[in-house]
Amino acid sequence: RMTSGVEIARQEGLNQSSVNELLRLTLLSPANVQALLAGHQPKTLTLRWLKNHAFPADWAEQREVFGAFDR
């Protein structure tokens, strides 16, 4: 059981900032994860965008933010 991104990075031999960037993805709503895995996300909603932009943890707010992207 890991208690922090630092601990995960150390254990796995990864860069701490990369681990913390990826941990943010756990905040995505299940519906958004499902759409991403199925390839049904807007064209401009990429992993690069998710890594470089803050997005709300609240799932309803995510729907609003991601709903404003092109389809």
pLDDT, residue 71, reads 57
For residue 46, what are its two tokens? 């990429």
Alpha carbon distance, N-terminus to C-terminus of the chain? 39
pLDDT, residue 70, reads 77
The pLDDT of residue 57 is above 80: yes
* Nearest Cα residue to 50 out of 6, 38, 69, 60: 69
pLDDT, residue 51, reads 85
For residue 11, what are its two tokens? 């254990």
For residue 16, what are its two tokens? 């701490």
For residue 64, what are its two tokens? 């609003």
Threshold 0.95, pTM exceeds: no
Q: What are the C-alpha distances in Å from 41 to residues 3, 47, 62? A: 31, 11, 13
Q: Mind listing the pLDDT tens digit for each residue in 5-55?
A: 999 999 999 999 999 988 999 999 999 999 999 999 888 898 889 988 999
